[in-house]
Amino acid sequence: MTGADAYWRRPVQEGGYQAMHPHHSARWAAVLLAAGLLGGCGSGDATASPSSAIRQVATVATGLSVPWGLTFLPDGGALVSERDSGRVLLVTSTQAPTVVGTVPGIDATGEGGLLGLALEPGASPGWLYAYFTGDADNRVARMPWNGSRVGPPEPVLTGIPKNIFHNGGRIAFGPDGLLYVATGDAGDENAAQDQSSLAGKVLRITPEGGIPDDNPYPGSPVFSLGHRNVQGLAFDATGRLWASEFGSKDADELNLLRPGGNYGWPLVEGRGTQPEFINPITTWEPTSTASPSGIAVRDGAVYVASLRGEKLWRVPLTGRNRYRAQAVPLGDLGRLRTVATTPDGRSMWVTTSNRDGRGDPRRDDDRIIVVR
């Protein structure tokens, strides 16, 4: 067996937990052309140890209002969500962003609003999936996408607890064709350990919102539990699922998710010794160095956009510096929310989040940067 099937059948192993929430101010200065990577340790302390080259950093779009979710189209353009406005934008490298739809009923209080986006695999036009905060809950809906406009949403999964903080919000389709949904504990720490609650979990559902027969808990959408606030989900080339998570005060985390795995919150934050909990692959200590949000996997490494840390982190998955976080030198961009690899695999798009109420926006923020 290979890919997602092999991953799904791997035994749960490793043991410990958790992640971070506070994300504070940021500054925007210049977007710099850069070369090289700074090596670092697994706890997020960067040291000067170049490991690969960045050929170019350029601006794709400016003047956005808290871009949060980003999903690429086959032609290299992307659909981007604005958290506070509820707008969905079509962004390309050759023209100004255009509004292709607005999701109604958005509650953008605190960290809520229009969050993650995911396009139905293998179909464009097709369905665009969105995670958003409404009046009563967080929910996942899908909207028809005809190549130029986004239609009205229809619910796929409802009843995810909401709060001012810890709403999670990242969604991603796996190589198994199923939808993975990252939620936060919504300010109720104990909910993360409550299997019957949708809060503090990563969920696994069918594109129509059903529960797959091979989920780890029969009749439940729960894929993994014990999470504080997951805002990053990405699959690697072998079908393994990675997640970034905000810690409370001790450690932010990068986790390798296992079916049915318990990542410990609120009983453990960072690494622990309890065998019933799964330890993170990488931690950032203190949490001011990261506050990790979106992630992408490419070239044998996980790239992590950090808010409070105002850095793009690279975590190699192989080699001498395996799991040691390295700061990618992009210049002073401020708070970073999302990172995604382009369909051709040659570039990554990175979004800033300086207008989210915790940053220090400059005239052209928020923006999308392309890293080649």
pLDDT of 12-65, one tens digit each? Answer: 222 222 333 333 333 222 222 222 222 333 555 443 333 456 778 899 999 999
> What is the residue extent of each domain of the chain?
15-371
From 348, 181, 200, 306, select the one nearest 262 (Cα to Cα).
200
Report how far apart, in Å, the C-alpha atoms of 67 and of each of 91, 140, 282 are: 11, 18, 26
Q: 48-62, 89-103, 162-176: lowest mean pLDDT where?
A: 48-62
Tokens of residue 93, six digits: 């490298």
pLDDT on residue 122: 83
The CA distance from 24 to 39, in Å, is 24
From 326, 372, 357, select the one nearest 25 (Cα to Cα).
357
At 312-338, the pLDDT tens digits run 999 999 999 999 999 999 999 999 999
Q: From the CB of residue 74, how many other CB atoms can be counted at a distance below 10 Å?
A: 10
Residues 334-347: what's their mean pLDDT?
Answer: 96
pLDDT at 232 over 90: yes
pLDDT on residue 42: 53
From 196, 199, 164, 195, select the one nearest 181 (Cα to Cα).
199
Residues 93-121: what's their mean pLDDT?
Answer: 97
The CA distance from 61 to 338, in Å, is 14
The CA distance from 241 to 233, in Å, is 7
The 10 Å CB-count burial string (b at 16+, else e) for 288-299 is bbbbbbbbbbbe
pLDDT on residue 54: 73
For residue 250, what pLDDT band results from cuts at 50, 70 and 90?
Answer: very high
Residues 229-233: what's their mean pLDDT?
Answer: 98
CB hemisphere CA count around 173 (13 angstroms): 21
From 51, 107, 60, 15, select the one nearest 338 (Cα to Cα).
60
pLDDT on residue 203: 99
From 217, 192, 321, 337, select the one nearest 268 (Cα to Cα).
192
At 174-185, the pLDDT tens digits run 999 999 999 999
pLDDT at 71 over 90: yes
pLDDT at 10 over 70: no
pLDDT on residue 52: 54
pLDDT on residue 125: 82
CA of residue 45 relative to chain centroid, distance: 22
Domain 15-371 class, CATH top level:
mainly beta
pLDDT on residue 53: 63
pLDDT on residue 49: 38
pLDDT on residue 205: 98
Average pLDDT, the chain: 88
pLDDT at 214 over 50: yes
Question: Which residues are 249's β-sheet partners?
Answer: none
From 109, 106, 116, 112, select the one nearest 81 (Cα to Cα).
116
Residues 181-209: what's their mean pLDDT?
Answer: 98
From 127, 116, 113, select the one nearest 84 (Cα to Cα).
113
Query: What does DSSP say about strands 179-182 and 201-205: parallel, antiparallel, or unpaired?
Result: antiparallel
Q: Residue 41: phi, psi to the nearest 5?
A: -100, 170
Whether 130 and 80 have beta carbons less than 8 Å apart is answered as: no
